[in-house]
Structure 1
């Protein structure tokens, strides 16, 4: 199931109804996989995150985290509904428009050039460490305002938090303390970065409290790193395990944007959107989901729906219908960093095709486990 969930998603789709599953923690959730049904769920007014605002008598979910950590997690943008979601997203959305991120393209291009030059010098590399990881880590840190000497420390915090390891809560608290110090410095000497802007807004307009600031910056940094790293490394893996597609990109590096979109469709960074709940009985995907139940809207399932995509289980960078994918979600929770992720990945695929045409796997493809790439790495010969 973890190595390839798509046969399961195909069965759910064929059943014509939501299917109840139990997660490892023992919580039930209804899996929805059809493209039209997932779109409906993403924009349904009775499906959202803040279930306790709609059912005040519901017991608070048990948290294994310290109160300070749980409080920060509860203020994450991806866990909120309007009006708080609208307010917080509005504070940062201006920094992620296509025009705003376009100014970073020369800087990203220079960084990508350095990475491929270093890879050629090494000869054998890890696709994550030497190609996929450095661009998103440094770009989002630059945009948000993390000083360069502090970035390795934050990278460790980010990895601990996103892995749900026992070190995660401590990393959240350490990052919160670090951000308190950085915010204090920006109050005295603001810079042209997102943290300075947020601190100014918080102080002047009282639009942002301390926990919201920590939660917002933490989410931007983690989401801006982890998901784009996943996109780039999966694109490399898919190209190198589909030789005809890799050859096409090498012959025409301008196809890099198409590689980004097909990678997003075929195996995007997010399998199922963050947990959502029904606030009343909801008819969806041919069935009735009871009020206050959890809903698992599968982006992977939607993006392999044969009713929308021709030969959905085939990786094809020439696909004419690829732009219909919803790998970045839909509606009010559409990925804030979509423009940035697309640009970073496009630049990396283009540079790899031009300057590393001999790139190949250093392991047998059958030994690759796409689900565990972040743990096992991607050994490559240049």
Structure 2
């Protein structure tokens, strides 16, 4: 198997770059071996840590407050020598914080980012999807990621913010391309600085001319006995929505179409009965989770997981890909089945206090995108020369490109 390259220390596995093309095989072997494993992922800033691959352990640790988020951010910054950048103005969001600070942020943000606000976006999402496909009129071939899966969630984020669609490129961070562009899916300091400048200017406009968008709602959000969100907290939350919102949704749409087109029996079943779409989206989230690992955590104190003790100060990687294919929860987990009854038990959006607040919006975009794509293009298929290549990023599970034939 290509997963193990060398051992840097007793029990430490260093993953080879080929791991990203076949992560399920590696996680299956580790899960079957029992208990967390120590590993170092490849990349420009490799982080050694414990990797948890079973569903039960993952679900328990996702909700375990002994695993710190704020501490992980601080320690990771020290680990990679991060001494520059926008700092608290973009990273003071709830995904990076622990209670009680997280509790306050979540309460205020949830007050602004309601399910009702998400539901009102349906007509706009349907319009964006149709507009993107209209641009393909007369064509036989398209590249789904750059021409659909990426611009769609960006347009939705701008609708949510009440921002100008002329500035989409300012907030685009998914730079993984096949032509030599940024391939790690992360945000550079230059990109972050540009985004911060844009978000501050947009926030100033919303304070001067408030509307019914999310940024205006965040400015006004208050709970009884709580202070309003600070400037840094609002820009950080906006940044989180951009990053988590469009990276996850890009991968969900691209991974989903690729999975459907490589499983013709399930695609035919879905085409014959589109009422199966909600369940299909849940199974797609389980089968090829758009986030491969949960956001980084570290042990603020020793944590026992079975017969293993995660030592104080050690990083912990929770594998969503591994958990979502655990046979103790999902029968025949490597089989893609849109009729799977318990698919919605997946952990693709996390669990506990850090469960993704934008999950309903991601589901809504995917459901609309899949429905319109499959309805409008009955002959949709992969390009003949397509060979799947995946992002070289342990946290994101996403294709680099997805060339399709429309007819």
After TM superposition, the score normalised by the length of structure 2 is 0.84
Deviation at 1:133, TM superposition (A): 2.2
Is residue 309 from structure 1 mapped to residue 330 from structure 2 by the alignment?
yes
Match of 2:402?
Answer: 378
**2:41 counterpart (10, 17, 23):** 23
Deviation at 1:174, TM superposition (A): 1.6
Unaligned runs of 5+ in 2: 1-18, 177-181
Deviation at 1:267, TM superposition (A): 0.9
Q: Distance in 1 between matches of 2:91 and 2:146?
A: 32
Match of 1:229?
Answer: 250
Q: Distance in 2 between matches of 1:106 and 1:339?
A: 15
Is residue 46 from structure 1 mapped to residue 63 from structure 2 by the alignment?
no
Deviation at 1:158, TM superposition (A): 5.9
Structure 1 residues 120-176: Cα deviation after superposition (integer angstroms, max 9, x where no partner): 532211111233223211112111222222223322x5649x966897101111221
Give the secondary-structure state (helix, strand or coil) at the position aligned to 1:307.
coil
Q: Distance in 2 between matches of 1:376 and 1:104?
A: 28
Q: Distance in 1 between matches of 2:390 and 2:235?
A: 32
Which range moved further: 58-67 or 297-306?
A: 58-67
Give the secondary-structure state (helix, strand or coil) at the position aligned to 1:121.
coil
Is residue 345 from structure 1 mapped to residue 366 from structure 2 by the alignment?
yes
Deviation at 1:295, TM superposition (A): 0.9
Q: Distance in 2 between matches of 1:28 and 1:264?
A: 27
Is residue 297 from structure 1 mapped to residue 318 from structure 2 by the alignment?
yes
**2:122 counterpart (102, 105, 125):** 105
- In structure 2, relative to structure 1, the CA distance for the partners of 1:5 and 1:237 (3 Å cut) is same
Q: Distance in 1 between matches of 2:187 and 2:119?
A: 36
Structure 1 residues 274-328: Cα deviation after superposition (integer angstroms, max 9, x where no partner): 1111111111143111112111111111100000001101111121221111111
Match of 1:81?
Answer: 98
Give the secondary-structure state (helix, strand or coil) at the position aligned to 1:326.
coil
Q: Distance in 2 between matches of 1:266 and 1:353?
A: 19
**2:139 counterpart (97, 122, 146):** 122
- In structure 2, relative to structure 1, the CA distance for the partners of 1:130 and 1:225 (3 Å cut) is same
After TM superposition, the score normalised by the length of structure 1 is 0.89
Structure 1 residues 14-40: Cα deviation after superposition (integer angstroms, max 9, x where no partner): 222211112343532001111111011
Greater share of helix residues, 1 or 2?
1
**1:37 counterpart (57, 61, 66):** 57
Unaligned runs of 5+ in 1: none
